[in-house]
Amino acid sequence: MNEEALLYSASHEWTRVDGEVCVVGITRFAVEQLTDVTYVELPPVGRAVTKGKPFGVIESVKSANDLYAPVSGEVVEVNTRVADDPASIASDPYGEGWMIKIRTTAKPDLSGLMKKADYDAQTAASGH
Amino acid sequence: MGQKTPLYQWHANRKARIVDFAGWDMPVIYTSINDEHRATRTSVGLFDISHMGRIIVEGAGAQAWLDRVLTNRVDNLKPGQVRYSLVLNEAGGTLDDVLITRLPDRYLVVVNASNREKLLNWFGKSTPADVRITDRTRDWAMIACQGPGAVEAMQKFVDVSISGLKYYFSADATIDGIPGFVSRTGYTGEDGGELILPSKSAEAVWNKLIDAGATAVGLGARDTLRLEAGMPLYGHELTEEIDPVQAGLGWAVKSTEKDFIGRASLLTKDPGRTVRVGLRLNDKRIAREGFLIRRNGDECGRVTSGTFSPSLEASIAMAFVKPDAAKIGTALEVDVRGAAVAAEVVPLPFYSRKK
């Protein structure tokens, strides 16, 4: 997965825009911060999600964290493998560890999402 | 920045994630909580516990005074013997849980880092003229070495026979050529011991144990290990609002054998108050501190600690529930962010090592 081609949100989700469908996961930085992911809760296919609102939960030994939708739309595919085996998110967050695909109604609203360089600058500034 | 243990630089050099714990900069994770946990269960885990308080009590009145401030018996400790005890306030609430050791001519009290200053103040209020209390926390480092291979690993550098020490006994020892102290104690449910040694010698001994194959373990796995072993953690299963009897620690409270601060209040506690139980959830989600517990829809308690057990590969928790909901096998529901997750009351500990 070319990480340069992804867009990033401040809440550590990545998005790959593929026409009207956006593939969503969480970043390696987020996985490393969480460590030891134990549980992932993802929405069912057909659920409407809203940009900036929670679409699921990721839990580690340390904490439970909401996952935020980078775009609005309808969930059209869910990676059930990551729910069964959360470790795959840690081993390959940008590939096997993808979480959901969202179909956007029109041209997706990508406002507020960052390019990799800007996201990396943000995480570096957060002191980790 | 908080206080630093003598091993802080080692942790920082290994890029451990450092967190504030009771005012100390402590490693919480080196690589992964799961990996560190499993290393302790299957081989040897090494823990920097230098942040724990080490207090020396001495003088002609030491034993009698300790028997007043501790719930467990001090008078019949054998030389070198270690005993778990609670410190209570007058109302019977728990100020701390401690380990007391009888040394040849004095006593060592190991206390929680978060309670050290509070306890020193508390002790200071009641110490008679013939008892002297000295806080030696900063002079010494403390290292726990835990796991099936721990005794063998420590033995390479310790001159007394550790396998010859019974569980909860201790001895003065020469550790890597330096005078120190070894005890057959721990907070993981595994065999092993804890070493006390001069701060300046800590890193050399730590490195030798690492070279002997031990895995450095942070506070994250220390918590999952103690939880599996069913051991309470101050601030969670014990607080000033919780008494040791409801916490299931009545075995360390000798109300029929002696008097101690808090005893009178303990005897008047409501028998219907909540009690500590173990829960196993029928889900991968973790029951976290503060989550509500219901029985047939009626609120009956709260979670105090929860995790995903690496050994059982199940979500486990400790909780305080009403006595009628505490029977082993009782079906309960934990409110996990609005979802009622099925849980069952199970015996503590969750995990016992094979002996």
pLDDT tens digits, residue range B178-221?
999 999 999 999 999 999 999 999 999 999 999 999 999 999 99
Instruction: Show Cβ contacts of residue B64 under 8 Å, excluding neighbours closer than 6 positions.
Output: none
Closest listed residue to residue B50, CA positions, set B86, B5, B20: B5
Closest listed residue to residue B72, CA positions, set B90, B84, B55: B84
pLDDT at B179: 96
Averaged pLDDT, A46-65: 93
* Whether A59 and B285 lie within 8 Å, measured CB to CB: yes
pLDDT at A6: 96
pLDDT at A35: 82
* Whether A38 and B286 lie within 8 Å, measured CB to CB: yes
Q: Between A35, A41, A61, which is nearest B307 by CB? A: A61
**Paired residues of B355 in beta bridges:** none
B227 touches chain A (CB under 8 A): no
Domain membership flag for residue A128? no
pLDDT at B1: 73
Q: Side by side, which strands form the sheet with B82-88?
A: B82-88, B94-102, B107-111, B53-58, B132-135
Averaged pLDDT, A3-22: 94
Length of chain A: 128
Residue A106 confidence (pLDDT) above 90: no
A64 touches chain B (CB under 8 A): yes
* Whether A61 and B308 lie within 8 Å, measured CB to CB: yes
CB atoms within 10 A of CB B337: 12
Domain membership flag for residue A111? no
Mean pLDDT, chain B, integer: 97
Q: Between B33, B220, B288, which is nearest A64 by CB? A: B288
Nearest residue on chain B to A87, judged by CA atoms?
Answer: B34
Structure tokens at B137: 């926390």
pLDDT < 50 regions, chain B? none
Number of domains in chain A: 1
**Cβ-contact B81, B37 below 8 angstroms:** no
Chain A residues near residue B307 by CB distance under 8 angstroms: 61
Q: What is the reported pTM?
A: 0.91
Residue A87 confidence (pLDDT) above 90: no
Structure tokens at B148: 């099936």
Is the confidence metric ipTM above 0.85 for this complex? no
Chain B residues near residue A35 by CB distance under 8 angstroms: 17, 29, 32-33, 220
Please give the Cα distance from B244 to B239 (Å, whole number).
9
CB atoms within 10 A of CB B16: 20
User: What residue numbers bound the domain in which A80 lies?
Assistant: 3-105
CA A27 from centroid of its chain's CA atoms? 7
Domains of chain B: 8-50+138-228 (3.30.1360.120), 54-135 (3.30.70.1400), 270-346 (2.40.30.110)
Query: Which CATH number goes with the domain that contains A60?
Result: 2.40.50.100
Domain membership flag for residue A41? yes
Query: What are the helix and strand counts (H, E) for chain A?
Result: 4, 9
Domain membership flag for residue A57? yes
Structure tokens at A18: 């593929």
Averaged pLDDT, A86-105: 92
* Whether A62 and B220 lie within 8 Å, measured CB to CB: yes
Q: Between A35, A41, A64, which is nearest B32 by CB? A: A35
Closest listed residue to residue B315, CA positions, set B227, B192, B186: B227
pLDDT at A94: 95
Averaged pLDDT, A59-72: 92
Specify the 3-state DSSP secondary structure of B36: helix
Domain membership flag for residue A22? yes
The single residue listed with the structure tokens 């001519």 is B105
Residue ranges of E strands in chain A:
7-8, 13-18, 21-26, 37-41, 48-49, 54-60, 64-68, 73-78, 100-103
Domain membership flag for residue A43? yes
pLDDT at A66: 95
pLDDT band at A127 (very low <50, low <70, confident <90, very high): low
Nearest residue on chain A to B28, judged by CA atoms?
Answer: A62
